[in-house]
Amino acid sequence: MASVQVVNVSLPALSEGWSADKDFKAVGTLSAATQRNLEAVGPHFLAHARRKRHQRTFSEDERLQAQQNVKKTEEDEDDDISEDEDPMMLSREARDWKSQDHYAVLGLRKYRWRATPEQIKRAHRKKVLRHHPDKKAALGDRDENDSFFKCIQKANEILTDPTKRRQFDSVDEAAEVDPPSKKEVAKGNFFKLWRPVFQAEARFSKIQPVPELGDENSTFEEVDNFYNFWYNFDSWRTFEYLDEDVPDDNENRDQKRHVEKKNANARRKRKTEDTARLRHLVDDCAAQDERIKKFRKAARADKDKKRLEKEAEAKRLAEEKEKARLEEEQRKKDAEEAAKAEREKNKKAKEAAKNAAKKNKRVLKGSVKDVSYFADGEPSAAQVDSVLTDVDLVMSKIDAEELAGLAERLTSAGKDAAAVKNAWAEQVKTLVGAGKLKEGETKNF
């Protein structure tokens, strides 16, 4: 109901000197009085007229109006919440409410946990109009048994309370969809058979929306995400609805605690069993899913391909390593052979040089011998010894090349003593100039 709000507004002050007699001016006149006929209207007058016209009493009129309202309500209600009532259900006992199907009682069997609050409200209203004891009495039905009406009220109480409805949905076996067998999957469509199963189980998920099962064109990421979700399913499902009633007796507290502990253990056991059931269900689905087989085959092929590529790469590297080793061995071998050949060559060159040096030395010594050691006639032993001493001194100061050059000059000089001596003198002069000999160190050259 709207609250009343008072607004204080001050009227404008009249101008000074204003008066109604001289300043008021009429802008119109009142019309003449007209006589009109009035007719009574409204629901109460219509009810009075209806009773007078049909000569009914108040009770008769109310009974007939109730019949018409029920009929009109049933005609106005949509067919989506209209279900045939089972005679067995109509005869059930109200005290056995915990085992009743609340959705079936309200005619929402095909909707169940999907029923909206508005559908529940309309279904309850329809059932009440049909089965209310007062309505039945107004319709002439004198059956005093209102047990089914109590069932309707209990069903409405459960389904309109979010907590109680969730507890009932948690154990609603009629909403469950049995998984298909291997034979059914082999004959039918895998996705068509399994999709309703997971849609029914998805109502217990704390995480929404739930990944879809997909189809044969689903990617590996989509399929992997689907099974990871269900293998790690976080369920809100509880089993309080099946609890044994706790005695409301303050004097027997031990019994109350015993029942509460018993209910808690039973709920844990049912929760564990439900988790195992769901995991087994997902295992069966995964075992029948051809997509997983296809992905595993592709993964094995890719793994084999990578393994073969790895083996080929390892083989290539091993071959390259072996080739490098062989090339290195060959290079070392070639180097050793070259070094050996060089040594042999150097040895031969040394031997040749040595032989050449010996030969040249013989030439040098023979050159002075051929000219009689520069003596006129037969040289004396002292003369021979003095010349050979100078020859040995000069030979010790020159290298092989100078030795060969000197031997060549002496050979050209032949037995000409002057030429031979001149060749020796030039060599001595060269050694003195090089600082290898001292001036006058040789006696004969």
- Specify if 3 maps to a domain: no
Q: What is the pLDDT of residues 228-246, one digit of tens each?
A: 999 999 999 989 999 988 7
Residue 50 has pLDDT above 70, yes or no: yes
- Specify if 341 maps to a domain: no
User: Are 160 and 201 found together in one domain?
Assistant: no
CA nearest to 290, candidates 176, 193, 211: 193
Per-residue tokens: 165:
């409805």
More confident residue, 134 or 198: 198
User: Are 246 and 182 found together in one domain?
Assistant: yes
- Specify if 419 maps to a domain: yes
Q: Which of 126, 143, 171 is the last residue of a domain?
A: 171
- Specify if 199 maps to a domain: yes
Instruction: Work out how many domains the chain is built from and give that number.
Output: 3
pTM: 0.54
- Provide the CATH number for the domain around residue 151: 1.10.287.110
Q: Which of 255, 288, 321 is the last residue of a domain?
A: 288
CA nearest to 190, candidates 287, 297, 280, 277: 287
Q: What is the pLDDT of residues 356-405, one digit of tens each?
A: 888 888 888 888 888 888 888 788 888 888 888 888 888 888 888 888 88
User: Are 195 and 275 found together in one domain?
Assistant: yes
**Residue position matching structure tokens 């002057």:** 418
Q: What is the pLDDT of residues 150-166, one digit of tens each?
A: 999 999 999 999 999 99
* Burial of 242 per CB tally in 10 Å (0-12, 13-18, 19+): middle
User: Are 258 and 233 found together in one domain?
Assistant: yes
Model confidence band, residue 17 (pLDDT cutoffs 50, 70, 90): confident
Residue type, 19: S
Domain extent for 362: 351-434
- Nearest-angstrom CA–CA distance, 62 and 48: 12
- Specify if 274 maps to a domain: yes
- Specify if 315 maps to a domain: no
Residue 1 has pLDDT above 50, yes or no: no
More confident residue, 1 or 73: 73
What average pLDDT score do residues 422-436 get?
86
- With a CB cutoff of 8 Å and minimum separation 6, the contacts of 112 are 103, 169, 172, 174, 175
Three-state SS at 235 = strand
- Nearest-angstrom CA–CA distance, 66 and 399: 150
User: Are 263 and 359 found together in one domain?
Assistant: no
Look at residue 156 in the predicted model and tell me its pLDDT.
94
Three-state SS at 127 = helix
User: Are 102 and 196 found together in one domain?
Assistant: no
- Nearest-angstrom CA–CA distance, 372 and 387: 10
Residue 220 has pLDDT above 60, yes or no: yes
∠ CA 373-376-378, nearest 5°, is 70
Model confidence band, residue 292 (pLDDT cutoffs 50, 70, 90): very high
Model confidence band, residue 72 (pLDDT cutoffs 50, 70, 90): low
User: Are 251 and 164 found together in one domain?
Assistant: no
Q: Are 374 and 431 in contact (CB under 8 A)?
A: no
Alpha helices by DSSP H, listed for 237-289, are: 253-288
Q: What is the pLDDT of residues 264-288, one digit of tens each?
A: 999 999 999 999 999 999 999 999 9
User: Are 167 and 186 found together in one domain?
Assistant: no
User: Are 407 and 364 found together in one domain?
Assistant: yes
User: Are 194 and 238 found together in one domain?
Assistant: yes
- Specify if 48 maps to a domain: no
Q: Which of 153, 171, 189 is the last residue of a domain?
A: 171
Residue 290 has pLDDT above 50, yes or no: yes
User: Are 232 and 277 found together in one domain?
Assistant: yes
- Provide the CATH number for the domain around residue 394: 1.10.8.840
- Specify if 69 maps to a domain: no
User: Are 166 and 183 found together in one domain?
Assistant: no
